[in-house]
Structure formats: structure tokens, C-alpha cells
Structure 1
Amino acid sequence: MKWSEISIHTTNEAVEPITNILYEAGASGVVIEDSFELVKKREDRFGEIYNLNPDDYPNEGVIVKAYLPVNSFLGETVEEIKSAINNLILYNFDLGMNQVTISEVNDEEWATAWKKYYHPVKISSKFTIVPTWEQYEPVTTDEHIIELDPGMAFGTGTHPTTVMSIQALERIVKNGDLVIDVGTGSGVLSIAASMLGAEKVLALDLDEVAVQTAKINIKLNKVNEQIDIFQNNLLDGIEQKANVIVANILAEVIVRFADDAYHLLVPDGVFITSGIINLKRQEVEEKLLQTGFKIKETLVMEDWVTIIATK
């Protein structure tokens, strides 16, 4: 089967919304090549440091690559993607070069090319993310291993917004908690919450592909008994009260359903919000405070922010 690789040269700020646009358009995998990876300082208390090949990264900015099947609708799909990306300017996203190129790859190349970017990474004091095709031996007896195959859904588990979300869950989740994961993507946050002792996790995502892939990852990590997952638009129609609600999605979306999250949390419940670029931080904080939340803690990594708020 033939696949078309669509490549967007943009900024780190625009990676998350562009990734969402690509998956909504039917993309079957995403690769992110960030020039910052070549120069950023890494803390050696958790992660492994790899020798990166500069030839695999742009000289500046970020290249987001996605894969679409070659069919009679490809031209229309590409134009819809371009239009949706350009519309991000209306939300004050810096698109950088915003250069879009198209090339063709075969099925075998698509299935393996992106895997070279993804290795076991210890992202916190308790969690290590391991791709399913890698061998990894735990370093400590209390280390949690999350196996992921992110090829068809959102997130590899190593993006700053995901890392901070998991670190926030470590601080908050207690044995017996009920957790709601809004926009579960690959399911990594739901898996982490269940490993931290949550009695039940409700995992929600609007994207059917993400739901199916999350189900696979949840079963792979043997936590399917604790996690219920289904397709849903944010918290629409949800009535189950929760101790913790976590959402690693766009700032604009968090603002839209903050009131619903407040309503569903028990007294002293916690709302963990991530996926927030720094320039959107004030907007989210103001909405949370207006809704009735108290901001307990804020985590910052690179240009990304995660907010822990209590009811």
C-alpha cells in the first residue's frame, strides 16, 4: 500500500494543535522532529541520554510528519489540513515557517521509520515509558513500566505535557480514587493512574482511532479491569463523580469544559490540566479561578505548563 507523507515545518508552540488536526484528518502515525532536541539540557536523574543525529532534525523549528493513505480524496484532505493549520493564527499560535511538503512512502517504510525516535525513557521517580518493541529491565523494585505502542494515536508518553501530567498524578492519586482522563489519546495517563492505585479510571476520547489504540495499550499493561474507555466529547453526558480529573489537551478546550469538571469533582477533588503553552497559561488560570478552583501547584517544563487545581 502507498502512503503519502505530509511534512509541516512549524514551531514547538504549534505542535499539539497541528498534531490534533492531522489525526482528525485520518493520519495513521506522526513523527515530530524538534531542532531543540539537539541542544536542550537533559536532567540525568531520570532519563537516558541518546546520541542524536543532526541529520534527522531541522536546522530550526519543528517538523511534524504525518502519514495518509494515497487515495482519490488525498488532494482534498491535504487542502483541508492546510486550511485548518492556517486557521490556528486566529488563536494566536505562531506557525513559524508553516511550510507544507508532500512525499510518497511505501507501507514498510511508514511502519518502521518513526520508531528510531522512540526509546525507553524514565520520566519520573516511579515511571518508565517503554515502546513495545524494546527490551527493558526495571532498575528498581518499585519502578512502574508502561508499555506503549503509540503508532496510531496521540502521544508517545515522553512529551513534556505528558511527563508533567504523570508527575502530577504521582502527587495526587491515592488508593481507591476514581479518576477521569479526558482526551486519553494513547491511554498513558489512565494506565499511570491505575498503577498508582486508582480503583477505577474512566478514559474518554472523541477520536475513535485513539479509543481503539488506548484499549490495546491498556490491555497490554494488564490494567483493563480498572479502566473503562469509550468515545465521548469531553465530559458531555458524564455523571460519575471523581476524585481526580486529568486533561492533557489544548488550553482552549480546557477553558470550555472547566465548569463541567468542577461539577463532577467531589469536594477537595483535583483537576490536573496540561497541554498548555506558556502564553495561554493566564487564560487557563483565570478560567479555573473564575470557576471556583484554587490553584495548588504549577509545573513548568520548557514552554509547557501543567496546573494542579483543587475544588
Structure 2
Amino acid sequence: MKWAEIVVHTTHEAVDAVTNALYDFEIKGVSLVDSMELTRSRQHRFGEIYDLQASEYPTWGVLVKAYTPLNELVNDLLCQLDQRIMSFKDLGIDIGDYSVTMNEMDEEDWSETWKKYYHPVSISDRFTIVPTWEEYEKKHEDEIIIELDPGMAFGTGTHPTTRLSLQLLEKYTKEGDLVVDVGTGSGVLAIGAAQLGASKVLALDLDDVAVAAATENAKLNDTAAKIEVFEGDLLHSVKETPDIIVSNILAEIIMSFSQDAFDALRPNGLFLTSGIIGKYEEDVVKDFEAKGFRILEIKREEDWIAIAAEKGEA
């Protein structure tokens, strides 16, 4: 069987939007080749081995690689994808001098190509993301392992926004918390919250493919009993009062439901958000403060930020 490797070269800011667009076309195998991987400061205390070849990485931005069966529909898909990416400009997303290309691959080449970008990665003091095909043993007693199959997932924990979100969850989640994960994607944040002691996690996504992926990943990590995954538009279908709302999506969408988040949270509940490009930091902070949130901290990695905000008095 032949496969089409679709390669979108774009900016760091546009990566999440491009990835979501690809999944809208039901493309289920996505990998990221980030130019910043070559210069990123890394911690080796958990035994990770990094052997990166500069020739495999772009000189700027990110290569978003997606894989789909090669057939007569691919050219039409490329045209629709190009139009979708161009429309991101209307949302204020910088797509840069982007390009979309396509390569033909044999099935054996495809299956090994996207796997080579995924290895166990330490995300924080406790979390390590491990691809399902890798053998891995805990390096310390408190380490928490999240197993993911990137072939069926939106996000694998390797993107800065996911790392920042998990770090905030690690710091603020308490035993027995009710957590809502808005835009769950792969379910990685919902799984992390459950492993940290949340008694119940509501994981929502508009995309039925994401709902299926998050459901499978919850089972894979033995957290399905705590996680309820369902298709939902932001917080519209949530009737309970959460202790924490976590969301790793675009800044514009976060601000569009920040009032709903404030209203839904219990007193002193937390709104943990990421997916925010640095240039929108001031806008998001002003929006949160106007809604009544108190900013607890802002974490930064590369061009991305994550915000922990507490619900103040109404």
C-alpha cells in the first residue's frame, strides 16, 4: 500500500491550528519536526538519550507531517488544506512563508518514519510521556508515566503547550478534585489529572476522532474509570462545578469562554490555560482580570505561555 506524506512548513504559532485542520480531514498520523529541538535545553537526570541529526530538521519553524493513504482524493485534500491554512490569517494567526508538499511512501517506510520522532520524554519533575511501542522503566518512585500512541492522538506531550499544561496540573491538582479538560485532543491532560488524584475528569472535544482517541488512551493508561470523554462545545454541556478547568487551545478561543469558565468554577477554583502564543499574553491577562480571575503565575517556554488563574469573588 502507498501512503501520502503531507508536509506543512509553518510557524510555531500556527502548529496547533494546522494540526487540528489535518485531523478535521480525518488524517490520523501526525508528527512534528521542530527547528527548536536542536537548541532546546534538556535535562538528562531521568536518563533520556537525545541523538538529533541537524539535517532532519528545518532551519526555521516546524514541519507538520501527516500521513494518509495515497489515492485519487489526495490532490483535492491538499487544495482544501491550503485554503484552510490561508484562512488562519483572518484569525490573526501568523502562518509565515508556509508551504504544503506531498511525498509518496511505501507502508513500511511510513510506519517507521513517524515512529522515529517519538521516544520517552520527561515533561516535568514527575511526568514522562512514553510511546506505546517503547520499553521504559520508572527512573524514580514518584514518576508518573503516560502511555500514548501518537498514531491515533492529537498531541503527544512533546509540544511546549502540552508540557506547560501538565506542569501546571502537577502543581495545582489535589486529591479528589473534579477537573474539566476543554479540547482534550489525545486526552493527555485528562489522563495526567486522573493520575495526579482527581476523582473525576470530564474530557470534552468537538471532534469525534479526538473523542475516540482520548477514550482509547484513557483505557491504555488505566484511567478510564475516572475519565468521562464526550463530544461537547467548550463548557456548554458541563453541568457540574469543577475545581479545575484546564484547556490547551488557541488564545482567541480561551478568551471566548473565559466568562463561562469563571461562572462554572467553584469559589477559588482554577483556570489553567495554554496554547497561548507570547504576543497574546497581555490580551489574555487583561481578559482574565476583567472577568474576575486572579493571575497566580505565568509559565513560559519558547514562544508559548501558560497561565494559572484563580476565581476571585464575583
Q: Say yes or no: TM over 0.5.
A: yes
Gaps of 5+ in 1: none
Structure 2 equivalent of residue 122 of structure 1: 122
Q: Name the amino acid aligned to 2:295.
A: I
Structure 2 equivalent of residue 308 of structure 1: 308
TM-score by length of 1: 0.95
The answer on whether the counterparts of 1:46 and 1:124 sit within 8 Å (CA) in structure 2 is: no
Q: Name the amino acid aligned to 1:206.
A: L
The answer on whether the counterparts of 1:215 and 1:229 sit within 8 Å (CA) in structure 2 is: yes
The answer on whether the counterparts of 1:42 and 1:49 sit within 8 Å (CA) in structure 2 is: no
Does residue 183 (structure 1) correspond to residue 159 (structure 2)? The answer is no
Shift of 1:60: 2.7
User: Which range moves more in the overlay, 37-46 or 189-198?
Assistant: 37-46
The secondary structure found in structure 2 opposite 1:81 is: helix
Does residue 109 (structure 1) correspond to residue 109 (structure 2)? The answer is yes
CA distance in 1, matches of 2:46, 2:16: 24
Structure 2 equivalent of residue 234 of structure 1: 234
User: Which range moves more in the overlay, 62-71 or 299-308?
Assistant: 62-71
Does residue 62 (structure 1) correspond to residue 62 (structure 2)? The answer is yes
Structure 2 equivalent of residue 171 of structure 1: 171
Structure 1 equivalent of residue 276 of structure 2: 276
Structure 1 equivalent of residue 155 of structure 2: 155
The answer on whether the counterparts of 1:47 and 1:123 sit within 8 Å (CA) in structure 2 is: no
The secondary structure found in structure 2 opposite 1:307 is: strand
CA distance in 2, matches of 1:289, 1:45: 38
Q: Name the amino acid aligned to 1:180.
A: V
The secondary structure found in structure 1 opposite 2:266 is: strand
Shift of 1:243: 0.2
CA distance in 1, matches of 2:10, 2:236: 33
Aligned length: 311
The CA deviation string for residues 126-159 of structure 1, in whole angstroms up to 9 with x for no partner, is 1111111111111111211111112122101121
CA distance in 1, matches of 2:55, 2:252: 35
Shift of 1:94: 2.5
Gaps of 5+ in 2: none
Shift of 1:47: 7.2
Q: Supply the RMSD in Å over aligned alpha carbons.
A: 1.5
CA distance in 2, matches of 1:237, 1:195: 24
CA distance in 2, matches of 1:214, 1:262: 25
CA distance in 1, matches of 2:47, 2:253: 30
CA distance in 1, matches of 2:46, 2:292: 35
The answer on whether the counterparts of 1:119 and 1:131 sit within 8 Å (CA) in structure 2 is: yes
The answer on whether the counterparts of 2:204 and 2:232 sit within 8 Å (CA) in structure 1 is: yes
User: Which range moves more in the overlay, 97-106 or 269-278?
Assistant: 97-106
